[in-house]
């Protein structure tokens, strides 16, 4: 809970000042970790806090030819049947939220839009919280590709072509479905074709190294021929990449840093990047389907409830009508639906 108990210490009144704008434009994180997830919806009053996805398993390939049908005709024609099987994935939702309280002086001695402006940090916090929670679900994957081929504690090289190719081949070998079809480009000069692609998410520090991989194509070279994602910066190795500072980092967790980034100077910081196919990840909201798009911090997903209580509310807990509050609340869950369709790449990042 964030409390604004006094006037001067937290939100000083703009006495003898002219406010050029009610609220200055703030930085906005890109929130890509729900992009491409399979949206689940937990029904209100449905009697459960969990949601289930069901995947029909593939049937075995038949390589034996069918013989001539029997005569006389019999039930089943003498053929063997196969039993259909399913895999169920279940996840329980949990409740998340944040509250800002403010004293009546904030309203009385500030411009009358001040309480409304508090909706901006609430919305920012709500959007980035859900994205960070989903990033943690991505990061829980244990089937990692290491930039130097060993383990987290030895990672001290930048992401390379072999890492991206390894992830692509793993997804292709699991019959992964790419998110984007091939684009042949357009008639505009300099518009390049790109092949069908999986999705990739990385930290901006890693994006610098991905741009240096041979064969990298910047988004500006193909954007006129296909739709692009918010924050997309390019493609390489059959993966279209988006960068976000919500991507996980393990500080000082790698090997000798050399020319790589290091917070303490003794060990490389280790960054997690992700390459995934369709139906790899799922996300759930209560009463609404969780967003399956990339959004920017400050955009409030439909699953989030915004709550405001003015200083005049509260009964005996607020007997003098002195305190108001603005909050967000959400029931949410994320889940890996098929671990064969997502690969985590752990790498260091070049210090620039």
Report pLDDT digits (tens) over 306-330.
887 777 776 777 778 778 788 888 8
Domain membership flag for residue 70:
no
Is there a single domain that holds both residue 145 and residue 265?
Answer: yes
Is there a single domain that holds both residue 185 and residue 300?
Answer: no
Residue with the larger pLDDT of the pair 68 and 150: 150
Domain membership flag for residue 264:
yes
Domain membership flag for residue 205:
yes
Domain membership flag for residue 66:
no
Contact status, residue 97 vs residue 330, Cβ threshold 8 Å:
yes
Is there a single domain that holds both residue 267 and residue 304?
Answer: no
Cα 144 to Cα 141: distance, rounded to the nearest angstrom: 7
Domain membership flag for residue 298:
yes
Cβ-based neighbour number of residue 201 at 10 Å: 27
pLDDT at 290: 64
Contact status, residue 310 vs residue 324, Cβ threshold 8 Å:
yes
Residue with the larger pLDDT of the pair 304 and 33: 33
Q: Is 334 exposed, middle or buried (0-12, 13-18, 19+ CB in 10 A)?
A: buried
Total tally of structural domains belonging to the chain: 2
Is there a single domain that holds both residue 342 and residue 194?
Answer: yes
H helix or E strand, kind and range, residue 210: helix 204-210
Whether 215 shows a pLDDT value over 90: the answer reads yes
Domain membership flag for residue 24:
no
pLDDT at 304: 80
Domain membership flag for residue 76:
no
Contact status, residue 328 vs residue 123, Cβ threshold 8 Å:
yes
Cα 52 to Cα 92: distance, rounded to the nearest angstrom: 9
pLDDT at 6: 37
pLDDT at 245: 92
Contact status, residue 213 vs residue 237, Cβ threshold 8 Å:
yes
Contact status, residue 348 vs residue 271, Cβ threshold 8 Å:
yes
56 falls in which pLDDT band (50, 70, 90)? confident
Cα 247 to Cα 294: distance, rounded to the nearest angstrom: 14
Structural domain containing residue 216: 141-281+338-347
When the pLDDT of each residue in the chain is averaged and rounded to a whole number, the result is 80
Is there a single domain that holds both residue 109 and residue 124?
Answer: yes
Residue with the larger pLDDT of the pair 163 and 93: 163
Q: Which of 111-125, 185-199, 270-284 has the highest mean pLDDT?
A: 270-284
Residue with the larger pLDDT of the pair 317 and 107: 317
Is there a single domain that holds both residue 189 and residue 214?
Answer: yes
pLDDT at 244: 92
Domain membership flag for residue 19:
no
Average pLDDT over residues 200-206: 96
Whether 41 shows a pLDDT value over 50: the answer reads yes
Residues 6+ apart with CB under 8 A from 217: 192, 194, 234, 235, 236
Whether 192 shows a pLDDT value over 90: the answer reads no
pLDDT at 47: 63
Average pLDDT over residues 164-188: 84
Residue 155 CA to its chain's centroid (Å): 24
Cα 133 to Cα 98: distance, rounded to the nearest angstrom: 14
Is there a single domain that holds both residue 265 and residue 325?
Answer: no
pLDDT at 4: 42
pLDDT at 10: 53
Whether 294 shows a pLDDT value over 80: the answer reads no
pLDDT at 7: 43
Q: Give the DSSP letter of residue 180.
A: B
Among candidates 217, 167, 213, which has minimal Cα distance to 192?
A: 217
Whether 351 shows a pLDDT value over 60: the answer reads yes
């Amino acid at each position: 809970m964030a409390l604004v108990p006094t006037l001067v210490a937290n939100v000083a009144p703009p006495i003898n000042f002219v406010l050029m704008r009610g609220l200055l434009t703030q930085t906005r994180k890109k929130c890509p970790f729900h992009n491409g997830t399979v949206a689940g919806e937990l029904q209100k009053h449905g009697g459960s806090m969990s949601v289930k996805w069901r995947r029909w398993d593939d049937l075995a390939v038949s390589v034996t030819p069918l013989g001539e049908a029997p005569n006389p005709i019999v039930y089943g024609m003498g053929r063997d049947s196969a039993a259909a099987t399913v895999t169920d994935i279940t996840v329980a939702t949990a409740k998340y939220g944040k509250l800002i309280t403010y004293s009546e002086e904030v309203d009385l001695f500030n411009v009358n839009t001040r309480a409304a402006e508090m909706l901006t940090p609430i919305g920012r916090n709500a959007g980035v919280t859900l994205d960070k929670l989903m990033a943690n679900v991505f990061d829980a994957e244990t089937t990692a590709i290491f930039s130097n081929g060993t383990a987290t504690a030895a990672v001290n090289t930048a992401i390379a072509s072999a890492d991206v190719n390894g992830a692509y081949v793993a997804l292709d070998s699991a019959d992964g479905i790419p998110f984007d079809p091939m684009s042949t480009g357009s008639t505009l000069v300099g518009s390049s074709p790109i092949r069908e692609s999986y999705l990739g998410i990385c930290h901006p520090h890693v994006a610098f190294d991905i741009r240096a991989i041979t064969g990298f194509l910047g988004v500006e070279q193909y954007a006129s021929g296909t739709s692009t994602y918010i924050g997309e910066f390019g493609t390489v190795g059959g993966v279209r990449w988006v960068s976000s500072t919500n991507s996980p980092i393990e500080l000082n967790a790698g090997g000798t840093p050399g020319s790589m980034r290091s917070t303490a100077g003794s060990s490389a910081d280790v960054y997690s990047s992700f390459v995934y196919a369709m139906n790899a990840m799922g996300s759930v909201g209560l009463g609404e389907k969780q967003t399956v798009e990339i959004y920017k911090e400050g955009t409030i997903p439909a699953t989030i409830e915004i709550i405001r209580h003015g200083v005049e509310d509260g009964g005996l807990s607020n007997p003098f009508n002195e305190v108001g509050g603005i909050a967000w609340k959400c029931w949410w869950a994320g889940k890996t639906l098929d671990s064969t369709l997502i690969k985590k790449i752990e790498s260091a990042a070049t210090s620039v």
